[in-house]
Structure 1
Amino acid sequence: MPLIQIEQDNPELIAQVRSQIEQMVERVRNLPNTVIAVVAEEFVRGYLSALLEQRLLSVEQWKQLMDETMTAAKS
């Protein structure tokens, strides 16, 4: 299997993650405190965890994005 180089905390990846967070907020803005809101938030958390597991995010960046997700979900 050929090796590929990856960049941890790639700015393009971070922008894509923030876009996912924004989309989650838009989906649930009119449906707060519903199952849909919980599922959307869990989707983003799972997405972030997968990126961390694959070492595409550093632990520090993961924590920051998780905090942003929590803040966005509460807004």
Structure 2
Amino acid sequence: MKQIITIFFNEIMNNEHENIIIVSHGDLLSVFNAMWLGMDIEMLNKCDLFGFAGGVSFMNETVNGKRVIRRMGDMSFIR
């Protein structure tokens, strides 16, 4: 499973599009968030990157290549 997720992540990262929408279940999104931040996914056994079901996360990469999660599991669109 780790290999499949790594292949998917690499395809996303090497994509030419500026904006990409990913829809998934929570556990896989937690793995993607960890990979986005450069963490080993085994770290999720010690910590959690939590987002609400239906939430929207905004991930950006700065011009210097630093990866940032600006919002995680944001539900403000419901109000």
TM-score class, shorter-chain normalisation, is 0.3 to 0.5
Structure holding more helix per residue: 1
Q: Looking at both structures, which has the greater relative contact order when contacts are Cα pairs under 8 Å and sequence separation is at least 6?
A: 1
Alignment TM-score, normalising by the size of structure 1: 0.35
From the CA coordinates, give the structure whose radius of gyration is larger.
1
